[in-house]
């Protein structure tokens, strides 16, 4: 095999991605893939253009590029995705955490911090539920923030998923990020949870599947689990189910926080209002789209 230098690979990436002007292949995925293989910081691509890839590095690179071209997201090749400045293992059983979901985490933290301190001793321990946890990114980020930033050890976190495979990854991610006290439950939404007083929650958070089954956007998301992405009834079936039953599992005054589609804000606010939620509000994502709706019961 002829030796390939970083310089030549960079040219190859440029050609493959058409200098980022054409196609749907982001050039940074290919450079990030290259950096992952050679295990170097990004500055290396500038400072060491004459570095020669070994045969196995080159082979790994090319195999990955073919997979990326065929629709595999970079995160499934590296098995890693950063979220809330933490590192998460992901695979084909888990949705890849999106930056927009950080808005959901942010809003829940803001609400928790806005609660009067006088409630601290009444509701103790305080309890948080993440429905459809996937990689665990929401539950783990929240538990991590509560424990290490807010230094509040009065919270218990429960994370639910239907997929045993996803829960395996989520448990691993909790251990890697030092929040081993999260309780993971295999359940279809609330089905395996109790409505007894001491098991009620102060916060329920979820990033459920919400994309309409006929949405063209799904054709670009072929690698991720469809059950985590799409739902019947214009993408609203799971959101409705979560909202309708949330009052049974929340303490009075508790928070429900949901991620949803950019065009579902008004409908989700209505669903919350119809189910007795107050102080209902929608918050935008980093792109300025409706993304998170919150309400109190
Ligand atoms: N926001 C994701 C996307 O559009 C979907 C996440 C979800 O369905 N919960 O790619």
Instruction: For residue 262, give the 3-state DSSP assignment.
Output: coil
Residue 150 lies in a domain: yes
Q: Is 10 in the pocket of ligand 1 (CB under 6 A)?
A: no
Question: Would you say residue 75 lies in a domain?
Answer: no
For residue 124, pLDDT beyond 80: no
* Whether residue 207 has its Cβ less than 6 Å from ligand 1: yes
Q: Chain-wide mean pLDDT for the chain?
A: 93
Same domain, 241 and 287: yes
Residue that terminates a domain, selected from 39, 70, 101: 70
* Residue 19 reports pLDDT greater than 70: no
Of 210, 220, 264, the one to substitute when testing ligand 1's pocket (max ligand atoms within 8 A of C-beta) is: 210
Ligand 1 atom with least separation from CA of 217: 4
| 242 in a structural domain | yes
Task: State whether 235 and 287 are in the same domain.
Answer: yes
- Note the ipTM here: 0.93
Q: 183: pLDDT confidence band, cut at 50, 70 and 90?
A: very high
Domain boundary residue, one of 70, 101, 117: 70
CATH of the domain at 103: 3.40.50.150
Q: CA 170 to CA 158: how far, in whole Å?
A: 12
Residue 110 within a domain: yes
Q: Give the model's pLDDT for residue 158.
A: 98
Paired tokens of 240: 């409705």
Q: Ligand 1, closest atom to CA 100?
A: 1
For ligand 1, atom 9, name the residue with the nearest CA: 209
Residues 260 and 237 occupy one common structural domain: yes
Q: Is the model's pLDDT at 120 over the cut of 80?
A: no
d(CA 283, CA 292): 5
Q: Which domain holds residue 53?
A: 4-70
Q: What is the pLDDT of residue 123?
A: 62
pLDDT band for position 275 (cuts 50, 70, 90): very high
Q: What is the pLDDT of residue 2?
A: 64
pLDDT band with cut points at 50, 70 and 90 for residue 119: low
Give me the pLDDT at residue 278, please.
97
Instruction: Please give the Cα distance from 166 to 12 (Å, whole number).
Output: 36
Domain identity same for 102 and 193: yes
Pick the last residue of a domain from 50, 70, 90: 70
Domain match, 30 and 100 both: no
**What are the E-state strand segments in the chain?**
4-5, 52-53, 80-83, 86-89, 126-131, 155-161, 183-186, 201-206, 211-212, 230-231, 250-259, 278-284, 290-296
pTM of the model: 0.92
Q: What is the DSSP letter of 2?
A: -
Whether 282 lines ligand 1, by a CB cut-off of 6 Å, is no
Mark the binding-site residues for substrate, compressed into ranges. 207-210
Centre of ligand 1 to C-alpha 10, Å, is: 31
User: At 12, is the pLDDT very low, low, confident or very high (cuts 50, 70, 90)?
Assistant: confident
Best residue among 73, 75, 94, 95 to mutate for probing ligand 1's pocket (most ligand atoms within 8 Å of CB) is: 95
């Amino acid at each position: 095999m002829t030796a390939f230098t970083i310089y030549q690979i960079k040219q190859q990436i440029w050609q493959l991605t058409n200098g980022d002007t054409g196609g749907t292949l982001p050039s940074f995925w290919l450079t990030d893939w290259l950096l992952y293989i050679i295990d170097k910081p990004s500055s290396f691509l500038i400072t060491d253009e004459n570095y020669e890839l070994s045969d196995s590095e080159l082979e790994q690179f090319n195999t990955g590029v073919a997979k990326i071209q065929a629709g595999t997201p970079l995160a499934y090749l590296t098995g890693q995705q950063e979220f809330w400045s933490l590192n998460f293992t992901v695979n084909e059983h888990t949705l890849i955490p999106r930056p927009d979901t950080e808005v959901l985490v942010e809003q829940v933290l803001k609400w928790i911090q806005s609660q009067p301190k006088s409630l601290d001793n009444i509701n103790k321990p305080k309890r948080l539920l993440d429905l459809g946890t996937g990689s665990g990114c929401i539950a783990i980020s929240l538990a991590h923030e509560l424990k290490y930033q807010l230094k509040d050890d009065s919270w218990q976190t429960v994370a639910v998923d239907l997929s045993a495979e996803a829960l395996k990854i989520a448990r691993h991610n909790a251990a890697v990020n030092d929040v081993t006290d999260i309780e993971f439950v295999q359940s279809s939404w609330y089905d395996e949870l109790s409505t007894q007083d001491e098991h009620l929650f102060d916060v329920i958070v979820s990033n459920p599947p919400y994309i309409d089954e006929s949405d063209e956007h799904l054709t670009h998301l072929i690698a991720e689990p469809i059950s985590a992405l799409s739902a019947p009834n214009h993408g609203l079936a799971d959101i409705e189910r979560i909202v309708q039953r949330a009052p049974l599992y929340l303490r009075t005054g508790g928070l429900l926080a949901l991620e949803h589609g950019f065009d579902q804000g008004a409908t989700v606010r209505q669903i919350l209002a119809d189910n007795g939620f107050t102080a209902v509000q929608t918050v935008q994502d980093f792109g300025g789209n409706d993304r998170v709706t919150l309400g109190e019961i």
